């Protein structure tokens, strides 16, 4: 069973369907910071976002582009935001309510446990990269 056939539809649709609002950020605006309690996830609709470990960090860990989901890893692993997310350019983000997202996750406990195991593996393989 190849994964490719699932990619085009599923990858984007679910997150957009669950979003009811968008928000604009100007260049260098802080989207969220390390340690903040998660209330929302964000999908990049347009523009770029930089992921930084802390405010003083000079090196960018990641530059995230259209389609990336901010806060996904932190939500699945049930932790606070683990990175600072800063708008690298003017950015348009779709907002996903964390509570609704988590309800969907927990709707099937076995599937959720597989997703969580996958998230843990990814987080171990690439520590300190994803938020």
Partner 1 sequence: MKKIFFHKEVILKRGHFSKSFIIVTTGKAIVLDSLGRNIKKEIFQYQSFGLVDVLKENRWKNTIVSENKSEILFISRDVLVKNIFSNRPFASITLNLLKMAN
Task: Select the residue interacting with partner 1 from 27, 65, 114, 128 (CB under 8 A).
Answer: 114
In the complex with partner 1, which residue's Cβ is closer, 3 or 78?
3
Nearer to partner 1, 73 or 87 (CB): 73
List residues bridging with 62 in a β-sheet.
51
Nearest alpha-carbon partner for 69 in 5, 130, 4: 130
What length is written for the chain?
Answer: 131
**What region does 121 belong to: left with phi over 0, alpha with psi -120 to 50, or beta?**
alpha
Residues 39, 52: Cα–Cα separation, whole Å: 19
Q: Among residues 69 and 94, whose Cβ is nearest to partner 1? A: 69
| 35-94 residues near partner 1, rule: CB under 8 A | 69, 72-73, 76
- Binding residues vs partner 1 (CB under 8 A): 1, 3, 6-7, 9-15, 69, 72-73, 76, 104-105, 108, 110-111, 114-115, 117-122, 125-126, 129-130
């Amino acid at each position: 069973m190849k994964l490719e056939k699932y990619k085009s539809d599923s990858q984007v649709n679910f997150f957009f369907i669950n979003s009811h609002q968008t928000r604009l950020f100007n260049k260098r605006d802080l989207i969220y910071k390390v340690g903040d309690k998660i209330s929302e996830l964000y999908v990049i609709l347009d523009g770029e976002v930089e992921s930084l470990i802390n405010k003083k960090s000079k090196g960018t860990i990641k530059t995230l582009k259209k389609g990336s989901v901010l806060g996904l890893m932190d939500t699945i692993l049930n932790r606070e935001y683990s990175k600072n997310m800063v708008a690298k350019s003017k950015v348009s983000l779709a907002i996903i309510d964390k509570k609704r997202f988590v309800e969907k996750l927990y709707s099937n406990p076995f599937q959720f446990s597989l997703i969580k195991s996958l998230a843990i593996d990814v987080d171990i393989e690439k520590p300190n990269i994803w938020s």
